[in-house]
A and B are shown apart, each in its own frame.
Chain A
Amino acid sequence: MRILLEKLLINYPFFFAIILFVMGAFTVLTRSNLFKKLIGINIMEGGIFLFFVAAGNIKGGAVPILVENNPGMTYINPLTSALMLTGIVVSVSVTAFALALIIRLYKIYGTVDARRIAEMRKEVKERWQE
């Protein structure tokens, strides 16, 4: 038990990253408002970004920008941060696309509640076919 607590205290960024991930996943799956689902996706991806960036950190490492040729210096791992830049771009694009879809759904259905939208499917379809 004590070893578990020690390991948890040393690896606290990963712990919080997993908590964020689970919170985001829970929000996506249980909330019925479309905006909340989108925010849940963003929180989930935030957790993953924190996970990766914390994985690249080295205690006492310097910022990974090569200014002079110093062979003994420890830099933190720049790879993980660079990968997460790409991940952030992807997250922004998905958010933009989802927002555009929500606007379109609001125009057609008049509500942003997923359950009401599912109920209104039949009437909207019949109304369109006339």
Chain B
Amino acid sequence: MRDFVLKRIVAVIIPFISLYGFYVILHGAISPGGSFAGGIIVALSVIAFATIFGLDRAKEKLPEKILVWTESYGTLWYVLMGLVGIVKGVPFLSNRLAGINLGVPGTLSAGGLIALIGIGVGIRVASTMITLFFTMMEEEK
């Protein structure tokens, strides 16, 4: 799998895959996809890197500590965003009631809290998938 052609192509294409993943995460409210699917796509770019360039190089770039931290704090970001409403006196996870300005429907800010939460969840899902892949590849050796 460490072929010359594959390495060149994957090196060019990985940033585009990651960018597409972030696009899907952020546009969760106004197009199909959302945080989960976008997170998986971001993870796919790292998995492609690990498959072609070798597991050890991928582990150097993404050590276990970073993965554990993004997993925990991605989910805590969700809870934190929910608590924004409670601080202002409205129920948990409030969107418009908490004073977030939902702009014109159809633009990026139309989701309000949804896009913000989506970033945290997307990164978290990506790091979970990457951890799963690394664990299964470890078993191979």
Q: Return the contact of B106 from the options A66, A88, A96, A103 (Cβ within 8 A).
A: A66
Question: Counting CB contacts under 8 A, is B132 at the interface?
Answer: yes
* Chain B residues with CB under 8 A of A69: 105
On whether the beta carbons of B106 and A68 are closer than 8 Å, the reply is yes
On whether the beta carbons of B34 and A85 are closer than 8 Å, the reply is yes
Q: Return the contact of A89 from the options B36, B105, B106, B132 (Cβ within 8 A).
A: B36
Q: Quick one: CB contact mask for B69-88 with A, threshold 8 Å, 1 for yes?
A: 00000000000000000000
A99–B132 CA distance with the chains assembled, in angstroms? 11
Give the shortest distance, in Å, between A40 (CB) and chain B (any CB): 22
Which chain B residue shows the least CB distance to A63?
A: B32
Give the shortest distance, in Å, between A99 (CB) and chain B (any CB): 8
Q: Return the contact of A103 from the options B36, B110, B139 (Cβ within 8 A).
A: B139
On whether the beta carbons of B132 and A96 are closer than 8 Å, the reply is yes
On whether the beta carbons of A65 and B30 are closer than 8 Å, the reply is yes
The interface size of chain B toward A, counting residues with CB under 8 Å, comes to 12
On whether the beta carbons of B105 and A85 are closer than 8 Å, the reply is no
Question: Counting CB contacts under 8 A, is A67 at the interface?
Answer: yes
A47–B36 CA distance with the chains assembled, in angstroms? 21
A67–B105 CA distance with the chains assembled, in angstroms? 6
A69–B106 CA distance with the chains assembled, in angstroms? 10
Q: Quick one: CB contact mask for B96-133 with A, threshold 8 Å, 1 for yes?
A: 00000000011000100000000000000000000010
Which chain A residue shows the least CB distance to B37?
A: A85
A88–B39 CA distance with the chains assembled, in angstroms? 14
Beta-carbon contacts under 8 Å, A36-80 to B: 65-69
* Chain A residues with CB under 8 A of B105: 66-69
Residue positions of B touching A, CB distance < 8 A: 30-31, 34, 36-37, 105-106, 110, 132, 135-136, 139
- What are 16 A-B pairs with beta-carbon distances under 8 A? A65-B106, A66-B106, A66-B110, A67-B105, A67-B106, A68-B105, A68-B106, A69-B105, A85-B36, A88-B36, A89-B36, A99-B136, A100-B135, A100-B136, A103-B136, A103-B139
Q: Which 7 residue pairs of A and B lie closest in terms of their CB atoms, listed nearest first?
A: A67-B106, A66-B105, A89-B36, A96-B132, A103-B139, A65-B30, A85-B36
